Structure 1
Amino acid sequence: MTKKHQVFRQLDSVTDKAAEYINYFAYHPSKDFTRKRKMDAKTFIKTTLGMQGNCLNKELADAFPKFSERMTASAYEQQKSKVNPRLFKVILYEFNSTLKQPALYRGYRLLAIDGSDFALPYDKHSPFLCNIQTRKTPSADNKLTTKGACLIHANILYDIANCCYLDCLLQSRKSMDERSAAVHMLQNLRLQHRYIVLMDRGYESFNLFEHGNRLSNCNYVIRLRTQSKSAIREISALPDQECDLEMTFNITNSAKQKKLHPEYHKINAPNRRYKDKYSPKYRTAHWYFESFCPVHCRIVKLKINDPQSGSTKWEVLATNLSSNDFPLSEMKKLYHLRWDIESSFRKLKYDLGAVCFHSKKPTFQEIELYSQLIMFNVVNRIISLCRVADAHRKWPHEIDFKEAANIVHRYYTTSMKDDPKQMIEEIEAYHHPVRKGRKYPRPLRFQGSVSLNYRIS
């Protein structure tokens, strides 16, 4: 069996096994998926994975070209209501485990953790309902203008070298906790190789540093705040010059220890709770280690020139990588690779169509989001088998992800997947140049949900 045949067969093998054990993921195992229907468990999983951003009836028509085999949208939704979203999360894990020879970066699996918001169709009863600021300027009564919106925050663990999502933890935007989600995903990670995980400034915490130091095979690179009030005081005191230092931070959650040793860092994570209810403004941090713990890490300060303004900026990274293996010059290149997870979010949302949900029910939305993560991995694994000749070209070229996603969906939902050679040839016909070093400002504005009533027919 060639690699071109393997990807769909690996996915089919995983989905067939999931359908075989569907009773472990059904809400009522004794009766769900027990009757013979047009849409059994296997067909339901395949149909859900093959969906894109069209209206539901159009999706079913594409999945079942023969009218005699097609079911109504209501019938599909009834089958969907029987399944726990955990089913598709398990399929994501199992499909990732079929990658036997992953690409490595200097002997490490190169990972990144970040979060992204997905706008959902508005539902006042949704657990994902929150208030968002609609404009930056205050209104006449000095109150910021806000509006209700449904946002789901996806905390995602991404494999940069292999272009695939390894894990995802969904939270409400109102009560999201990215640091706890990162710890949870790292603790659940089972990899045979050593790995490096890259994280941005929002993940700066001593709790995460110590988890990275104690977890097996774990290496981290976390960008730190330098000027804000929440910056670590030792980091704010660093001189404006490139440096590479080993630092130890003494951490305690004891008020007594902090009083005896003012230089300690106190974390508001009490061992005991003295009240059943606290003020909504009361905040506690996470600390899962001893009452006193020295946290060791390497601090790297880098000089970055802004080509637009011509000014000099400084960035600080915390890591437990060796300075012999990753000197200061290499750390700058390494952290720059973290941007790939940001690019993957754009492909996931707007090329694959993950922002186009087909329901208002929270569990249905989670199912659809996990299925899009799976298909993102499938498309990228097939793209890795394609080749584009760069000879006699001014710029190197890469496969167009959007066209590849459309082709893969078309082959997967029909019997055409038995001819992978033709599929690869089609994908290789669509490519575009890669011009490195281009930079554009990011327009930070709220992206509304794609309405259920306005979809392409």
Structure 2
Amino acid sequence: MKYTPKILRGMLYSLIRKMGEQPEKYVKRPGRDFTRPRTLTFETVLSLLLTMSENSIGKVLIGRFQNSEKTPSASAFVQQRQKLLPAALEGLFHRFTALLRPEKTFRGYRLLAVDGSSLKSAACPEDPASYHPGTPRQHGWNLWHMNALFDLENGIYTDLIVQKEHEKNECRALCQMAERSRVSGKVILLADRNYESCNNLAHLKRRGWNYLIRVRDKGRAIAYGTPLPVQPEFDIPLQLTVGRLTPRQLEARGIAVPASYYRIPPAMTFDFLESNSPDFYEISFRIVRFQTSGGKMETLITNLDPERFPLSTLKTLYARRWGIEISFRSLKYAVGLIHLHAKKPDLVLQEIFACFLIFNFTQASTWAADISHGNSKYKRHINFSDAVFACCAFLRRTASDPLLLLRRKLLPFRPGRLFPRPKITGNRISSCYTSAR
């Protein structure tokens, strides 16, 4: 299906209208909230949350109601949005994303990258699970951890779990997202070092996903009880039999210890074996090490076929993981996620899911744009910041279909360009990163 901005807007507003027909499912007081006729209806509040710019709420409302004398106050809007459950925007994000049918793959595989990113909000001491008091000479703040699955080939987020800083657990979030994922077909999951865990591997195995996970490699000579070769690059297969008991405990019970036995410590999470269970669980994967273009050595584990995915292909494949890091930058600065209007936990969650939905809407809108070479010698891509601005104006119905404009806002891919990462202190933000919403 060819997704144009007009089709996507129809899909999104159709979902909002269906939610507005049964608002009792998404409000804190069913039967009372959003039952009286008001200017700020259920559908209006949702659309405002999706297209809010970095301006104050008062200025957002003035722009939305075009300087009308019936423009609601900022206080009225806040009171209305407080009636919503966090599940309202979260459910809207998941329903809209489920309607998208991306087509790009990597050798027939969907490439999904998983990672987490932190987000600060204004201080709310009433929420101790996310609150940081700060030092005596600075204000406190609240910190949120966003765990996301990102489709690298198509540029959209397929799932999101938001955790409070003092309760965050990236591995548990990955298992939950993998278990409930609606992504069909063959999948390759790319992950960084924080996701090295037997429990993660077992969940991905049960889900039927392939994976490529970077592991800790600072002076590492043994992995999962197996000595690693001394040569700089290698590719070795490994088949583990994991269990909860020590070899001595197994022998005391008359159970033979497998040749490639690896004991999972009691403090480590493994959902497929009880803490004192004598049972075993089989896991097979490859351990590979290669040298990057910068001269560093990286070690990864994967269950991909060695014939179809040799060492050189794995090196190229893992480099694609950086796409999720770039997406977080675009999400925070172009979409404007760092410019939160709220500090209460429920309201912060509304804005987080609204920003992720706008990100997906914009990316899906660019799928229909022609980005062929033309007279350029470089491959080209859409200017994402301009696309966010154009799509939000289109959702507000203050601008026409942005597809023709997006085709003109193309930037060249220049492979091989490397720039040193500057060390910037303080909170200065360049004008290049002004929110586009």
Q: Same fold (TM over 0.5)?
A: yes
- How many pairs does the alignment contain? 419
Distance 1:147 1:377, change over 3 A: same
Which moved further from structure 2: 314-323 or 334-343? 314-323
Asked whether the equivalents of residues 246 and 263 of structure 2 are also in contact (C-alpha less than 8 Å), the reply is: yes
| 1:267 counterpart = 2:258 | no
Matches within 5 A, 1:118-267: 118-126=119-127, 127-130=129-132, 148-215=140-207, 217-227=208-218, 232-234=223-225, 237-255=228-246, 264-267=261-264
**Which position in structure 2 is the counterpart of 1:88?**
89
Which moved further from structure 2: 312-321 or 435-444? 435-444
Asked whether the equivalents of residues 20 and 43 of structure 2 are also in contact (C-alpha less than 8 Å), the reply is: yes
Which moved further from structure 2: 111-120 or 163-172? 163-172
Identity of aligned residues (%): 27
| 1:343 counterpart = 2:326 | yes
Asked whether the equivalents of residues 119 and 447 of structure 1 are also in contact (C-alpha less than 8 Å), the reply is: no
Deviation string 1:113-135 (CA, Å, 9 cap, x unpaired) is 1000011112333331137799x
Distance 1:235 1:338, change over 3 A: farther
Structure 2 distance, partners of 1:443, 1:174, is 30
**Which position in structure 2 is the counterpart of 1:302?**
289
Runs of at least 5 residues in structure 2 that lack an aligned partner in the other structure? 252-256, 430-434
Distance 1:258 1:382, change over 3 A: farther
Secondary structure class of the residue paired with 1:123: coil
Which moved further from structure 2: 91-100 or 36-45? 91-100
| 1:324 counterpart = 2:321 | no
Please, what is the CA RMSD of the aligned residues?
A: 3.0
Asked whether the equivalents of residues 119 and 448 of structure 1 are also in contact (C-alpha less than 8 Å), the reply is: no
Choose the corresponding residue for 1:392, options 375, 383, 398.
375
Matches within 5 A, 1:272-421: 284-290=267-273, 291=277, 292-307=279-294, 312-414=295-397, 416=399, 419-420=400-401
Secondary structure class of the residue paired with 1:318: strand
One-letter identity of the residue aligned with 2:217: T
Structure 1 distance, partners of 2:236, 2:139, is 46
**Which position in structure 2 is the counterpart of 1:110?**
111
Distance 1:103 1:174, change over 3 A: same
**Which position in structure 2 is the counterpart of 1:35?**
36
Structure 1 distance, partners of 2:282, 2:139, is 42
- Cα offset, 1:447, TM superposition: 7.5
Deviation string 1:229-263 (CA, Å, 9 cap, x unpaired) is 79735566332243222202232223565685697
Structure 2 distance, partners of 1:443, 1:235, is 40
* TM-score when normalising by structure 1: 0.84
- Cα offset, 1:65, TM superposition: 1.2
Asked whether the equivalents of residues 165 and 377 of structure 1 are also in contact (C-alpha less than 8 Å), the reply is: yes
One-letter identity of the residue aligned with 1:168: L
Which moved further from structure 2: 192-201 or 380-389? 380-389
Asked whether the equivalents of residues 302 and 332 of structure 1 are also in contact (C-alpha less than 8 Å), the reply is: no
Asked whether the equivalents of residues 130 and 150 of structure 1 are also in contact (C-alpha less than 8 Å), the reply is: yes
Deviation string 1:142-180 (CA, Å, 9 cap, x unpaired) is xxx998432101011111112111111111223311011
Runs of at least 5 residues in structure 1 that lack an aligned partner in the other structure? 135-144, 270-283
Asked whether the equivalents of residues 129 and 148 of structure 1 are also in contact (C-alpha less than 8 Å), the reply is: yes
Distance 1:224 1:445, change over 3 A: farther
**Which position in structure 1 is the counterpart of 2:254?**
none
